[in-house]
């Protein structure tokens, strides 16, 4: 086959001040030796086979056929080699070509008989094995040329240059054109943009429609307010290809097709005189920088992009909150239990398969003591707290966010020798935040690793001052889905924060009140990063985000209350004490706006900006929890809290602390790997035998395994 490659040409077209050149002409291939009447084009989904329809010419022996080419490099037409040419029976003038997703059925538009011809392929995707099956006649159309299907084969769409509207059909049997019945609705007239339509195509979810042809040498983009309903078509924009394809003389833009991820575009051109048989039949290949668009949209108007930026800002604030609240829970617990003999809340061994967390925990091992300690002790007290957060946020003009996260805090504290009313300590913290954005698959997943120092002081008049300073490292995985193209990026961040809490403890015989005011200040530095597509074309929709500074200032005014009761038991040795505690707080967000700057990878001179305004200035937090302790050594501490703003969404958070003072050789081990990998182990030595019981339970499994394993061993 003789192939002639046209020179490489770069096209940059500006339609508005907010759009720029996006389509790059890469190469072309002349297939005139194979096809004298080139019409439309299609590909096998993996890009290894290319198909074109060929219309016979007057005064030649050429027949109506489908040409099949093998591509050694997927979607690279320069590697195309003709592998078969199959005559199309029952067809007079072939145009559009389409395949069932499994490659076992092929459809071809017959402009001569105004039918959709259906063929079975005995070998999937091999047109040399086609066998004619049946057809469907399209009425009210004199020049039938274009064909498209809904992804599930239940809808069919056709058009031509007689009515110049899109006719819509319902298939009672998916992918069987003989079962088609015309819908009562059809598209508005398309004549104003294209009076010689040759090809049509939908995006994957039926919300965008493309049409092109020889009347304008352009491809026109329409949006559908109702997916797959062509009566709701609204014109969006056009892109001209006259630099390569021209309708002057005998040249025709015969067809086009985008790849499934809309990162590549192919156009067929038939240039001929049917009598003289002169001209060139050409396939053009283009790369598309902004997948699924005729011109790149203003990225700052994309709802998912805006939601990602806002989610990053919200995330920075929430991580600070998630890190400070466990510390304040610990401080509040100390105030409630300051007269206890043992202020340790972590007496069970905790193992972590996450190596980074394990390093933090191991630093605490040297502080573990088994002797009794009081509030006036010089020993270190250990504590831990786990957290699970679930929430949803709805905002105008951006995509909604579903939030779920978990975290753990492990700390130690002691009384200062020089000031017996002051306790100071430190804490290591790990958190995992997952945010689902919109409905397309966009999401953020963040891991945070933090360290903080804290101090609390309780004066003789029961006034108290609490202070925290901390530092976090952030690792944010971005995933954005647009027009079926998945883009990913990794972003690092650093965070510094401080908090001060002032209040007074008012108490009587049963109820204690703790009115107070708290100020949280934070600074987050999110580093620059770029998106990369997992489909292999790094240009498709990819954005580069610059460094972003986020400052936060949050004031909290409220009251905490707690009360203590003894539970009646028949055995004095099993005496249990329950402490109820709750909170009601106003949370004012005084944070300034944060400005994010970003640009497309293929055009770094056009900088977009999006400023995140503080939309939730007035918030609330309510909560309830209880401490349940036993003189035998075990304790349970829980907190349930809701944080939200009226009409702006909320987060539900659950905090859990489990404690146990080991007796003799008894040992409890709680293992946490991630949200779906948890286990609990009990071990004890009985009469020189080692007894070990392990659970199979996964904390958040949809179908949890409640089984257990028992191991008894002895050494002889």
What would the pLDDT profile of 315-369 be if each residue is shown by its tens digit?
999 899 889 988 988 888 787 766 665 565 543 344 444 455 455 445 444 334 3
Whole-number pLDDT of residue 684: 62
Quote the radius of gyration of the chain (alpha carbons, Å). 34
Q: Tell me the whole-structure pTM to 2 decimals.
A: 0.58
94-121 burial, b at 16+ Cβ within 10 Å, e below that, comes to bbbbbbbeebbbbbbbbbebbbbbbbeb
Q: What phi, psi does 73 have (nearest 5°)?
A: -115, 120
Whole-number pLDDT of residue 673: 45
For the record, the structure tokens of 473 come out as 């490292």
* Separation between Cα atoms, residue 156 and residue 206, nearest integer Å: 12
User: How close are the terminal C-alpha atoms of the chain, in Å?
Assistant: 83
Q: What is the DSSP letter of 367?
A: G
DSSP string, 549-567: EEEEEEEEEEEEEEEEEEE
Q: What phi, psi does 85 have (nearest 5°)?
A: -135, 115
Q: What is the DSSP letter of 261?
A: T
- With CA atoms as reference, report the closest residue to 318 among 398, 390, 395: 390
Whole-number pLDDT of residue 204: 84
Whole-number pLDDT of residue 484: 66
**3-state SS record for 355-419:** HHHHHHHHCCHHHCCCCCCCCCCCCCEEEEEEEEEEEEECCCCCCCEEEEEEEEEEEEEEEECCE
CA 399 to each of CA 291, 530, 542: distance values in angstroms, whole numbers, following the listed order: 20, 21, 19
- With CA atoms as reference, report the closest residue to 407 among 392, 387, 422: 387
Q: Contact, 409 vs 323, CB < 8 A?
A: yes
| Residue written as token pair 């202070």 | 467
- With CA atoms as reference, report the closest residue to 409 among 335, 476, 487, 328: 328
| Residue written as token pair 């005995």 | 122
Whole-number pLDDT of residue 573: 52
Strands (E), 48-196: 49-54, 65-71, 80-87, 94-99, 105-110, 115-121, 130-137, 144-149, 155-160, 167-171, 180-186
| Residue written as token pair 């976090």 | 472
Whole-number pLDDT of residue 697: 53
Q: Contact, 469 vs 498, CB < 8 A?
A: yes
Q: Cα dihedral angle (351, 328, 382, 431), rounded to 10 degrees?
A: 20
What would the pLDDT profile of 121-151 be if each residue is shown by its tens digit?
999 999 999 999 999 999 877 788 899 999 9
Q: What is the DSSP letter of 5?
A: P
CB atoms within 10 A of CB 356: 12
Residues of the chain with pLDDT under 50: 1-21, 59, 247-248, 273-277, 346-354, 357, 360-361, 363-375, 538, 660-664, 666, 672-676, 699-700, 702
Beta bridge partners of 637: 627, 657
Q: What angle do CA 140, 255, 280 make, to 5 degrees?
A: 125
């Amino acid at each position: 086959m003789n192939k002639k490659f046209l020179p490489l040409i770069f096209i940059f077209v500006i339609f508005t001040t907010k759009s720029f050149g996006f389509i790059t002409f890469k190469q072309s291939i002349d297939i005139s030796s194979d096809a004298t009447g080139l019409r439309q084009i299609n590909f096998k989904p993996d890009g290894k086979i290319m198909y074109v329809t060929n219309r016979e010419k007057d005064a030649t022996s050429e027949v109506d056929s489908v040409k099949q080419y093998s591509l050694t490099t997927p979607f690279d037409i320069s590697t195309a080699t003709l592998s078969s040419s199959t005559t199309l029976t029952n067809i007079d003038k072939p145009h559009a070509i389409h395949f069932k997703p499994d490659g076992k059925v092929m459809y071809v538009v017959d402009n001569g008989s105004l039918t959709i011809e259906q063929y079975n392929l005995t070998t999937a995707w091999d047109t040399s094995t086609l066998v004619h099956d049946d057809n469907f006649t399209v009425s009210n159309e004199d020049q039938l040329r274009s064909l498209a299907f809904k992804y599930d084969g239940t809808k069919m769409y056709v058009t031509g240059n007689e009515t110049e509207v899109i006719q819509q059909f319902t298939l009672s049997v998916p992918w069987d054109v003989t079962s088609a019945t015309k819908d009562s609705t059809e598209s508005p007239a398309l004549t104003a943009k294209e009076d010689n339509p040759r090809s049509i195509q939908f995006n994957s979810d039926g919300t965008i429609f493309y049409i092109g042809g020889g009347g304008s040498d352009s491809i026109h983009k329409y949006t559908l307010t109702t997916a797959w309903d062509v009566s709701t078509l609204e014109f969006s924009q056009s892109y001209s290809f006259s630099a390569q394809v021209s309708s002057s003389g005998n040249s025709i833009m015969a067809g086009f097709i985008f790849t499934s991820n809309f990162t590549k575009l192919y156009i067929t051109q038939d240039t001929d005189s049917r009598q003289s048989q002169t001209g060139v039949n050409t396939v053009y290949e283009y790369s598309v920088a902004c997948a699924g668009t005729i011109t790149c949209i203003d990225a700052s108007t994309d709802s998912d992009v805006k939601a990602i930026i806002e989610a990053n800002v919200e995330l920075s604030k929430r991580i600070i909150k998630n890190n400070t609240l466990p510390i304040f829970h610990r401080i509040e617990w100390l105030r409630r239990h300051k007269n206890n003999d043992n202020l340790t809340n972590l007496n069970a061994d905790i193992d972590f398969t996450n190596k980074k967390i394990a390093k933090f925990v191991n630093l605490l091992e040297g502080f573990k003591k088994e002797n009794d300690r009081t509030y006036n002790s010089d020993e270190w007290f250990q504590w831990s707290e786990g957290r699970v957060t679930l929430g949803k946020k709805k905002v105008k003009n951006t995509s909604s966010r579903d939030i779920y996260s978990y975290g753990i805090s492990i700390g130690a504290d002691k009384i200062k020798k020089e000031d017996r009313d002051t306790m100071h300590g430190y804490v290591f913290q790990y958190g995992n935040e997952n945010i689902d954005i919109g409905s397309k698959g966009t999401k953020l997943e963040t891991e945070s690793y933090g360290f903080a120092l804290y101090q609390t002081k309780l004066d003789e008049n029961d006034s108290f001052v609490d202070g925290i300073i901390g530092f976090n490292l952030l690792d944010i995985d971005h995933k954005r889905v647009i027009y079926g193209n998945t883009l990913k990026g990794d972003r690092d961040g650093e965070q510094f924060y401080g908090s001060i809490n002032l209040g007074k403890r008012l108490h009587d015989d049963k109820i204690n009140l703790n009115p107070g005011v708290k100020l949280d200040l934070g600074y987050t530095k999110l580093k620059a990063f770029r998106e990369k597509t997992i489909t292999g074309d790094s240009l498709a929709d990819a954005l580069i985000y610059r460094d972003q500074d986020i400052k936060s200032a949050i004031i909290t005014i409220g009251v905490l209350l707690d009360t203590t009761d003894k539970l009646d038991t028949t055995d004095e040795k099993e005496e249990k004490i329950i402490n109820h505690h709750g909170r009601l707080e106003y949370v004012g967000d005084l944070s300034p706006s944060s400005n994010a700057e970003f640009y497309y990878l293929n055009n770094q001179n056009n900088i977009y900006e999006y400023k995140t305004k503080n939309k939730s200035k007035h918030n609330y937090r309510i909560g309830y929890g209880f401490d349940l302790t036993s003189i035998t050594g075990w304790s349970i501490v829980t907190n349930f809290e809701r944080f939200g703003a009226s009409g702006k969404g909320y987060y539900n958070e659950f905090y859990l602390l489990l404690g146990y003072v080991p007796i003799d050789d008894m040992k409890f081990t709680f293992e946490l790997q991630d949200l779906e990998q948890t286990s609990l182990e009990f071990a004890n030595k009985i009469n020189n035998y080692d007894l070990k019981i392990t659970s199979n339970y996964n904390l958040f499994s949809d179908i949890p395994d409640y089984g257990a394993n028992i191991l008894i061993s002895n050494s002889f």
